[in-house]
Amino acid sequence: MNIDNNAFIPYGRQTIDNDDINAVISVLKSDYLTTGPTVGRFEESVAKYVDAKYAVAFSNGTAALHGACYAAGIQNGDEVITSPMTFVASSNCILYMEATPVFADIDKETFNIDPREIRKKITEKTKAIVPVDYAGQPCDLDQIKEIALEHNLVVIEDAAHALGARYKGEKVGSISDMTMFSFHPVKHITTGEGGIITTNNKEYYEKLIEFRSHGITRNKTKFIDNHGPWYYEMQFLGYNYRMTDIQAALGVSQLNKSDEFLRKRQSIVNKYNKAFVTISEINIPKQKEYNDSSWHLYVISLNLDQLSVSRKTIFEELREKNIGVNVHYIPVYYQPFYRELGFHKGICPNSEHFYETIITLPLFPSMTDEELSHVIKVVINIITKYSKRN
The arithmetic mean of pLDDT across residues 158-174, rounded, is 98
Neighbours of 300 (CB within 10 A): 20
Give the CATH architecture of domain 18-255: 3-Layer(aba) Sandwich (3.40)
Through-space distance between the first and last CA atoms of the chain, rounded to whole angstroms = 32
Mean residue pLDDT across the chain: 97
**Looking at residue 390, what is its pLDDT?**
78
What is the C-alpha radius of gyration for the chain, rounded to an integer number of angstroms?
22
The model's confidence at residue 274, banded by pLDDT at 50, 70 and 90, is: very high
The angle that helices 61-71 and 202-211 make with each other, rounded to 10 degrees, is 120
Q: What percent of the chain stands above pLDDT 70?
A: 98
Contact present, 143 and 115 (Cβ < 8 Å): yes
* Domains of the chain, residue spans: 18-255, 258-386
**Looking at residue 312, what is its pLDDT?**
98
How many Å apart are CA 70 and CA 174, to the nearest integer?
20
Give the CATH architecture of domain 258-386: Alpha-Beta Complex (3.90)
Q: 78-110, pLDDT tens digit by residue?
A: 999 999 999 999 999 999 999 999 999 999 999
> Of 40, 12, 42, nearest to 181 (Cα)?
42
**Looking at residue 5, what is its pLDDT?**
61
**Looking at residue 1, what is its pLDDT?**
45
> Of 37, 52, 16, 63, nearest to 248 (Cα)?
37
Contact present, 356 and 327 (Cβ < 8 Å): no
How many Å apart are CA 360 and CA 350, to the nearest integer?
18
Q: 184-241, pLDDT tens digit by residue?
A: 999 999 999 999 999 999 999 999 999 999 999 999 999 999 999 999 999 999 999 9
